[in-house]
Amino acid sequence: MKHEFINFEKINRQTWQKLHRDTTVPLTQEELNSIKSLNDKINLKEVLDIYLPLINLISIYKKASDDLSFFKSIFLQKKIRSRPFIIGISGSVAVGKSTTSRLLQTLLSRRFKWSTVEMVTTDGFLYPNKILEEKKILDRKGFPESYDMELLLNFLDSIKNSEEFEIPVYSHEIYDIISNKKVIIQPTDFLIVEGINVFQNPQNQRLYVSDYFDLSIYVDADVANIETWYLERFQTLLKLAEKDPNNYYHRFTKMPFNEVLAMAQDTWKNINLANLEKYIEPTRSRADIILHKSQNHEIDEIYLKK
């Protein structure tokens, strides 16, 4: 057992799926297909075996958080207003964080019928390409220094205090922040914050993004599998971009395929893998729950912080 997992309870799939088993899945295969990301594979059995017990566990964390807030208010002899329950979800590029996040958003809103569940990805907190170029770090996009961490912390602080906040919007089609477009995030009961950088904060060692989380989840897989998924996704994005000249990937559709594939492998090795090994994976032990995926995208092991 790796030293970093010493503080985790390892639970295999067979054991996990027997915990708090629900018999009905509160969504259809069509809904699941609309939730899942490109090239991700997920079926209703995975929802039943893995995600429904996970929702039960999240409910326990939520109740504990509400109880703590209530007893704190008694201790302080003042009414503490209800705060949102914030879940952070991290992991490598192409590991399937977005699918997990959107699925949890759907399942939580069905379990807690009277609650609002918002989801935000940290892509919107990347500096625009223009600023990255000025800072000479466009080739470091996705690395810690490419994010406006102050803005992300201000956002979390406002939401934690039940205030609305306006955030930028990122487009994967143009591979940049959309100028003049903002989205207003209203005070909410649950907030899911998804991104490769949500357990890090290199610019401000006194305050971490994860300080605002009530629960944090890391989606994990062997590096060789993540690389395969990344390259598969890249090829799917190329196909989708063939007829769209405005798409960032369109330019690559004009190049010989072997050249494009070599470029994608190079991007994986020098950017995504480097970022994973140096900045993302070292934060894994900050999670409360680690979901480990096997080769076929199925979750085979769950690590729960003791």
The domains of the chain are located at 3-305
Whether 25 has a binding-site annotation, put simply, is no
Distance separating the N- and C-terminal Cα atoms of the chain: 15
Whether 94 has a binding-site annotation, put simply, is yes
Apex 121 CA angle, 59 and 108, nearest 5? 20
Confidence band, pLDDT 50/70/90 cuts, at residue 96: very high
Confidence band, pLDDT 50/70/90 cuts, at residue 205: low
Q: Which pLDDT belongs to residue 36?
A: 87
CA 76/CA 266 separation, integer angstroms: 56
Confidence band, pLDDT 50/70/90 cuts, at residue 104: very high
Tell me the β-bridge partners of 233.
none
Confidence band, pLDDT 50/70/90 cuts, at residue 226: very high
Whether 117 has a binding-site annotation, put simply, is no
Whether 195 has a binding-site annotation, put simply, is no
Q: Which pLDDT belongs to residue 81?
A: 81
Is the pLDDT at 285 greater than 80, yes or no? yes
Is the pLDDT at 79 greater than 90, yes or no? no
In this prediction, residues 94-120 reach a mean pLDDT of 96
Chain mean pLDDT for the chain: 92
- What residues have CB less than 8 Å from 96, skipping those under 6 apart? 37, 40, 42, 219, 229, 293, 297
Whether 95 has a binding-site annotation, put simply, is yes
Q: Which pLDDT belongs to residue 208?
A: 83
Whether 88 has a binding-site annotation, put simply, is no
Radius of gyration of the chain (CA): 20
In this prediction, residues 67-74 reach a mean pLDDT of 93
In this prediction, residues 242-260 reach a mean pLDDT of 89
Q: How many CA atoms lie within 13 A of 252 on its CB side?
A: 19
- What residues have CB less than 8 Å from 148, skipping those under 6 apart? 125, 126, 127
**Fold (topology level) of 3-305:** Rossmann fold (3.40.50)
Residue that wins the pLDDT comparison between 207 and 93: 93
pLDDT over 90, % of the chain: 80
pLDDT digits (tens, 9 = 90+) for 4-54: 899 999 999 999 998 876 778 889 999 999 998 877 889 999 999 999 999
